[in-house]
């Protein structure tokens, strides 16, 4: 059970923070391995003031959003095509399956070789990481459309187009939204991984750069920024889902197939 003002999720992080503050002010921690929360806040302040943090956040967010939009443009129409014309899915199945089980980061060296270390390789990583959850969840949603409702649509003399719009699309919507949400999380993770390897901006780059300069405090700032942005976008997704599917009492908590 969770209600609006439930504070239980805050207990663990706040306790960890308290122990952390106490341990570091008592001098029990190595300031290089684990800087104090105060030191990390200071570092965050510096990075905010000189605009560096914002620059890296914008670089990462831009890549994720742009790559993710590409994914949606590719995966959703393909899911509708294979969902409606089942034989097409047969032709694609081996290729899709092989790509699905290959971690996108394994392709980074090849992508750098082909596309260089510019934006193209990072966008490709984002697309590869998010394509499958989006595609597979949307496809499952379309396939799960209730045959009885399609039958009903026929007795109402609805055309194929109207049936797709009023029956198939809304039944697939929970799957689509859930796939987009999962895919967004995946692309966010893969992007940071790619930025660790090859980039000159972005939160992944911020972390690896700070680590090479022995600025562990800045490493923590990068990690927290990634976590906060991930949680924020996920929350936005759930809000949008609830808006988009007012008929689902549990719309904010969609879950299901993972890609």
Partner 1 sequence: MYGLTITGLRRRFDISGRSIDALDGIDLTIASGELLAVVGHSGCGKTTLLHHVAGLQRPDAGTIAFEGPDGPAASARFGMVFQEPRLMPWKTVRGNLELALKHIASGAEAESRIADALETVGLAAFADAWPHQLSGGMAQRVSLARALCREPDILLLDEPFGALDALTRSRIHGEFAAIRLRRPLTTILVTHDIAEAVRLADRVAIMQAGRLTAVFDIDLPHPRPLAAPGLAEEVATITAAVLGDTISQA
* Surface-to-core class of residue 9, CB atoms within 10 Å of its CB (0-12 exposed, 13-18 middle, 19+ buried): exposed
- Give me the half-sphere count of Cα atoms (radius 13 Å) on the Cβ side of residue 110: 7
Residues that bind partner 1 (CB under 8 A): 148-149, 151-152, 154-158, 162, 166-167, 170-171, 173, 245-249
Q: Which is nearer to partner 1, 115 or 149 (CB)?
A: 149
Within 10 angstroms of residue 62's Cβ, the number of other Cβ atoms is: 15
Q: Which is nearer to partner 1, 5 or 155 (CB)?
A: 155
Q: Which is nearer to partner 1, 143 or 166 (CB)?
A: 166
Rounded to a whole number of angstroms, the minimum distance from the CB of residue 174 to partner 1 is 10
Rounded to a whole number of angstroms, the minimum distance from the CB of residue 163 to partner 1 is 10
Rounded to a whole number of angstroms, the minimum distance from the CB of residue 131 to partner 1 is 26
CA quadruple 44, 46, 51, 52: dihedral, nearest 10: -70
Q: Which is nearer to partner 1, 157 or 212 (CB)?
A: 157
Map the chain to HEC letters: CCCCCCCHHHHHHHHHHHHHHHHHHCCCCCCCCCCCHHHHHHHHHHHHHCCHHHHHHHHHHHHHHHHHHHHHHHHHHHHHHHHHCHHHHHHHHHHHHHHHHCCHHHHHHHHHHHHCCCHHHHHHHHHHHHHHHHHHHHHHHHHCCCHHHHHHHHHCCCCHHHHHHHHHHHHHHHHHHHHHHHHHHHHHHHHHHHHHHCCCCCHHHHHHHHHHCCCHHHHHHHHHHHHHHHHHHHHHHHHHHHHHCCCCCCHHHCCCCCC
Rounded to a whole number of angstroms, the minimum distance from the CB of residue 83 to partner 1 is 18
Rounded to a whole number of angstroms, the minimum distance from the CB of residue 172 to partner 1 is 11
Q: Which is nearer to partner 1, 5 or 159 (CB)?
A: 159
Q: Which is nearer to partner 1, 13 or 246 (CB)?
A: 246
Rounded to a whole number of angstroms, the minimum distance from the CB of residue 1 to partner 1 is 20
Q: Which is nearer to partner 1, 87 or 147 (CB)?
A: 147
Rounded to a whole number of angstroms, the minimum distance from the CB of residue 145 to partner 1 is 11
């Amino acid at each position: 059970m969770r209600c609006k003002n439930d504070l239980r999720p805050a207990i663990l992080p706040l306790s960890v923070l308290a122990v952390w503050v106490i341990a570091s002010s008592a001098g029990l921690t190595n300031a290089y391995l684990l800087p104090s929360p105060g030191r990390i806040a200071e570092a965050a302040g510096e990075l905010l003031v000189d605009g560096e943090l914002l620059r890296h956040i914008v670089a990462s967010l831009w890549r994720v959003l742009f790559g993710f939009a590409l994914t949606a443009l590719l995966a959703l129409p393909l899911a509708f095509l294979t969902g409606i014309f089942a034989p097409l899915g047969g032709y694609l199945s081996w290729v899709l399956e092989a790509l699905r089980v290959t971690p996108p980061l394994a392709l980074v060296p090849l992508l750098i070789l082909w596309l260089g270390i510019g934006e193209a390789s990072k966008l490709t990583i984002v697309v590869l990481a998010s394509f499958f959850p989006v595609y597979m969840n949307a496809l499952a949603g379309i396939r799960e459309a209730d045959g009885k409702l399609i039958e009903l649509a026929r007795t109402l003399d609805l055309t194929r187009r109207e049936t797709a719009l009023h029956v198939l699309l809304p039944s697939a919507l929970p799957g689509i939204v859930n796939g987009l949400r999962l895919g967004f999380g995946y692309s966010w993770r893969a992007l940071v991984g790619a930025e660790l390897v090859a980039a000159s901006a972005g939160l992944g780059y911020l972390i690896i750069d700070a680590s090479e300069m022995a600025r562990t405090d800045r490493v923590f700032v990068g990690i927290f920024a990634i976590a906060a942005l991930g949680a924020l976008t996920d929350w936005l997704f759930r809000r949008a889902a609830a808006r988009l599917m007012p008929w689902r009492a549990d719309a904010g908590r969609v879950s299901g197939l993972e890609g």
